[in-house]
Each structure stands twice: as C-alpha cells, then as structure tokens.
C-alpha cells in the first residue's frame, strides 16, 4: 500500500439492517484491515460488535432513533429534514482531521443524519464521496420507483410531474415532505454538485445515476465486496429449499415466491423480516419464516438451498444476495430487469423470470427440480464467479484509487 488514508465513514446505522449497512460496515473493516485510519460516524445503535471491537476503527454513534421509528413525529420531521445537532457533532469530529488528507465516505444519511451531515463535510473543505445504495441523492422517495403501481419511474426528479406523482410507499403527505427535503438538499444546499465523486455499485446503478444526477457529477464504478471464502460449490442437487434472503417488503417480491411455492408445494425458506411477513404467512402457511440471519448464518442457509430466488420488483442497485449465492455455487432465479441480471445468465448459472409474474417464477422453479440441471447451473455459477471474484481486496483497491484521485484534486486546487 503506497499511502495510508484518513477515512471518515458516514452511515445512518451502526449495525446491520440491510445490504447498504452491511457494505458500509464491511468496507470500513476492510479499509482498516488494509492499514487505513478509519472513523465510523453513525446515528442509530447498537454498534455492530465487529466495528466496536476493531482496533483500527474509531466508532462514534450518536444514539439517535431512525426517523421512521421515532414516536416524536415533530422531532422526526425536523431531524429528517435537516439534523443540525448531528451536523454540529460531525463538525466537532472533523475538527480533529486534516481536510487535505481526509476523505469522507458517505453511505446513508436520510434515515437519521440528514443531508446536513455530508453538507457540513463539503462546507469544511473535506473531499466527500457518496455510495449510491439508493437514489435519495436525486429522487424524493429514494428508489426512482412508483410504489403504488410497482413500476419504475420515468419522470424527471423534482419537476412538476414529480411533485404531483403519487409514488411514495406510505402516503402523499409523506411524499410531499420528502419532495421538499430533496428540493432543499439539491436546490439550496446543492449537495450533488459539491460531492467530489459518487460511487455506483453496479452498471445498472451507474446508468441510472448518470440519468438522474447533474451531467457534471463525477460517477465512479466500485462494485460491492462479496463476503465469501472460496470452497467447493454447494451440492445443490441434494437440496430442495428455495431460499429468499432480504427485507420482507412487497417491492422485494417475497409474496411472489410464497404464491409460487404454495402452488408447487415446494420447500421455501424466507430469511428476513418486514411489513410483508404476514402477507407471506397468509399466502403460504407451510413456508419457513426464519427471520433475520446474522452474517455468519447466511452460508449455512445457502448450504441447504436448491436455489436463491431474487424476486425484486424494483431494479435494485446491485443484487447483493444473488451474487453471494453464485459465489457459493447456488443457482439464482432472478427477476428480469434488475441489477441481479448483470450476474445471472439464463440457463447457464441461473434462470430469469418475468418480473412480477408468479406463473413465470413457477416455471423456473419447476425447471430446477431437475437434479442434474440444478447441479450444472450451480457448478457453472461457482466457476464463473471465482474466475472474477468481487473480493474485499479488490473493493479496497478500487476505493483507494477513488480516494487518491479526489485528494490529488484537492492538492492541485490548493
């Protein structure tokens, strides 16, 4: 390593609640393991034990509540719009860092910290990059997705049609508040233009970012790291479980798998929790709902799977669980038109079904009931992934290139 960086990682949550949190924490640990000085700044606890116990990471957690869970709705609206107290705490932290030698890497900020935190970093002259785990940097509802219709949005963010569109997963009042918040973030604070770089995590993510963000925004491609050790592929031909991994939300599509599994009488396991859990129970009482799984438990769940089923109705930004399954030699049945399609080749290492179609999903599940076909796809999944693995080492190396380039820009500007 030619240069040790001082890196301040910003993420709403200090523990695992979703794929973005998992990457923020794993990336911070990978950077620290590579010899960089890492500070992890977050709002919502508890702190993940791996962060808390890492000798190379200084963790700061403000002990706040996610704005969606805060019983004080006035405080939630205020903090979600512009969390000045969090920004003041962040300013105090940054006073102990040299702006010319430090990179601030933002992962998430809309659930508790607000845009006030990354804006504070850029106002103090820190080179600031942001990973696109969602689209809150441009889109008011964060997904560029019309939830009531379960359809991809085609509107220009913050335009008149965007203001009128009833796209929020909750209600129109919530959408209007989010619109006002994003308008302030982008039209007043001008956050997208002030960032040193935006990090897209997949080709799908990158193409969407270039459509939504200002043309002058610098967008770099740094894929997620995959937490998988190379070993023999899972013997999927001996397994019979169709596995869902992720948050149980309607837009993630677990109800599709529940309906298809019930129709086929297939063994289905759902690992995750969320608002759609009861819907899944009602659709398929015979399915196993295993709840959230720790990182250490995920390999075991994949080890008993015939296939990982990726049912998302929105395009996603990466498709983390799908790639994790492929790395272990587990075929993936994935929705067409999602980021997972970048990794799944139909009939080669997995199968693709028509997004939102239960009948199409059932057809693909039936195909994988053939033991020899499942074995063939699983072994090819393993071979193709490990020919070009997304290791933590490669992830860190790509981040180092981005960090180095933005700091060089700072030095040249000085």
Q: What is the pLDDT of residues 353-412, one digit of tens each?
A: 999 999 999 999 999 999 999 999 999 999 999 999 999 999 999 999 999 999 987 555
**CB contact burial 301-313 (16+ within 10 A = b; e otherwise):** bbebbbbbbbbbb
In sequence order, the 6+-apart residues with CB closer than 8 A to the CB of 396 are 27, 30, 31, 34, 225
Whether residue 341 has pLDDT greater than 70: yes
User: Is the pLDDT score of 15 beyond 80?
Assistant: yes
Reported as a pLDDT band with limits 50, 70 and 90, residue 3 is: confident
pLDDT, position 411: 54
Q: Percent of the chain, pLDDT > 90?
A: 95
Element of type H or E holding 51: helix 49-52
Map out the domains of the chain as residue ranges.
Answer: 6-225+391-413, 236-387
Fold: same for 6-225+391-413 and 236-387: yes
Answer whether CATH 3.40.50.2000 is correct for domain 6-225+391-413.
Answer: yes
Nearest alpha carbon to residue 253 among 179, 145, 397? 145
Taking a C-beta distance cutoff of 8 angstroms, is the pair 25, 45 a contact? no
Under the banding of pLDDT at 50, 70 and 90, the label for residue 292 is confident
Distance CA 279, CA 39 (A): 40
- pTM beyond cutoff 0.85: yes
Q: How is domain 236-387 classified at the architecture level of CATH?
A: 3-Layer(aba) Sandwich (3.40)
Q: Which neighbouring-strand residues pair with 58?
A: 39
Map residue 17 onto helix, strand or coil.
coil
252-261 pLDDT, tens digit each: 999 999 999 9
Q: Mind listing the pLDDT tens digit for each residue in 161-181?
A: 999 999 999 999 999 999 999
Closest CA to 399 of 23, 18, 20, 43: 23
Q: Estimate the crossing angle of helix 392-413 against helix 19-33, to 10 degrees.
A: 80
């Amino acid at each position: 390593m030619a240069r040790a960086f001082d890196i301040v990682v910003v993420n709403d949550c200090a523990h695992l609640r979703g794929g973005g949190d998992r990457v923020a924490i794993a990336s911070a640990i990978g950077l620290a393991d590579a010899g960089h000085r890492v500070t992890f700044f977050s709002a919502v606890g508890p702190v993940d034990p791996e962060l808390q116990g890492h000798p190379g990471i200084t963790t700061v957690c403000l002990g706040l509540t996610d704005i969606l869970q805060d019983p004080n709705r006035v405080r939630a609206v205020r903090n979600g719009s512009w969390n000045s107290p969090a920004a003041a705490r962040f300013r105090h932290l940054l006073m102990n860092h040299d702006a010319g030698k430090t990179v601030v890497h933002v992962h998430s900020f809309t659930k508790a910290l607000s845009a006030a935190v990354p804006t504070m970093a850029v106002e103090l002259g820190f080179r600031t990059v942001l990973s696109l785990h969602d689209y809150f940097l441009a889109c008011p509802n964060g997904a560029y997705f019309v939830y009531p219709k379960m359809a991809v949005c085609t509107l220009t963010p913050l335009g008149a049609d965007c203001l009128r569109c009833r796209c929020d997963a909750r209600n129109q009042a919530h959408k209007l508040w989010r619109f006002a918040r994003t308008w302030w973030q982008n039209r007043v604070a001008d956050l997208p233009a002030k960032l040193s770089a935006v990090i897209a995590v997949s080709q799908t993510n990158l193409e969407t970012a270039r459509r939504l963000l200002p043309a002058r925004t610098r967008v770099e491609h740094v894929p997620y790291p995959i937490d998988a050790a190379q070993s023999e592929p899972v013997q999927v031909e001996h397994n019979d479980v169709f596995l869902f991994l992720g948050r149980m939300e309607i837009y993630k599509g677990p109800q599709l798998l529940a309906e298809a599994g019930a129709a086929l009488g297939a063994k289905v396991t759902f690992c995750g929790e969320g608002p759609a859990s009861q819907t899944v129970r009602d659709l398929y009482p015979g399915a196993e709902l295993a709840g959230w799984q720790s990182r250490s438990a995920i390999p075991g769940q994949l080890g008993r799977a015939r296939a990982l089923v990726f049912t998302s109705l929105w395009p996603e930004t990466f498709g983390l669980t799908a790639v994790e399954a492929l790395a272990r030699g587990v075929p993936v049945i994935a929705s067409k038109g999602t980021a997972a399609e970048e990794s799944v080749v139909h009939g080669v290492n997995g199968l693709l079904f028509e997004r939102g179609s239960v009948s199409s999903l059932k057809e693909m599940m039936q195909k994988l009931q053939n033991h020899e076909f499942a074995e063939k796809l699983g072994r090819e999944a393993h071979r193709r992934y490990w020919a070009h693995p997304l290791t933590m080492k490669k992830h860190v190396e790509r981040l180092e290139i981005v960090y180095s380039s933005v700091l060089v820009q700072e030095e040249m500007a000085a």
